[in-house]
Chains A and B, each alone.
Chain A
Amino acid sequence: DQQVKQNSPSLSVQEGRISILNCDYTNSMFDYFLWYKKYPAEGPTFLISISSIKDKNEDGRFTVFLNKSAKHLSLHIVPSQPGDSAVYFCAARVTSGTYKYIFGTGTRLKVLA
């Protein structure tokens, strides 16, 4: 039962353009959503998060949008840079007694110079 889904395994974008990574979820109990970036041979690095009471959070070039009615969130990177090339994981937190993070399968972003 995949509660957090990233349906695009890969994405290629030209440098300077916008990258949009998508994530869908099924559990209405998720109250907090995060994006992690992962380079090869490293652990995931926290990038940006959003609470379920908000619909947008922005940090520099990174913006996360949350559409609760559609159970969908997206990460926008503008402008995209070659250093952004990595695997991006969407994660959702269940806050029912414990704080448990459930991850999607990841999207590999390649930013072309």
Chain B
Amino acid sequence: EAGVAQSPRYKIIEKRQSVAFWCNPISGHATLYWYQQILGQGPKLLIQFQNNGVVDDSQLPKDRFSAERLKGVDSTLKIQPAKLEDSAVYLCASSPNLGVAFFGQGTRLTVV
């Protein structure tokens, strides 16, 4: 069974630039999560989708971050404009209803 796919693996951008990350969850998983993991900290939930609807985006900085999940499958997370403090690993995870969340390898973002 294929796992959660994310791209790109690494990205370096200058502050105030824009960046987008892509996630393809495990087939059939209704729930998709985007987490931000800053160095030395645990993953922090940014946004959670159930199919193509948002169920929790309480910790998403909506002035600069946006996310969508078209057709309830793939998802993109965008940052515009990026700040230095956005440097982190962005993790996508998916789960079946009531199930364990499985993570992708993450995208390491460096903002300079």
Contacts and interface: CB of A to CB of B under 8 A. Distances in A.
**Do A and B bind?**
yes
Interface of B: 4, 6, 31, 33, 35, 40-45, 48, 50, 55-56, 91, 93, 95, 97-98, 100-106, 108
Interface of A: 4, 6, 34, 36, 41-46, 49, 89, 97-106
A97 B106 CA distance: 27
Question: Secondary structure at chain B's binding surface: helix, strand, loop or mixed?
Answer: strand
A98 B42 contact: no
Contact of B103 (A44, A99, A104, A105): A44
A46 B102 contact: yes
B45 A102 contact: yes
Contact of A99 (B6, B40, B41, B95): B95
B5 to A, nearest CB: 11
B55 A103 contact: no
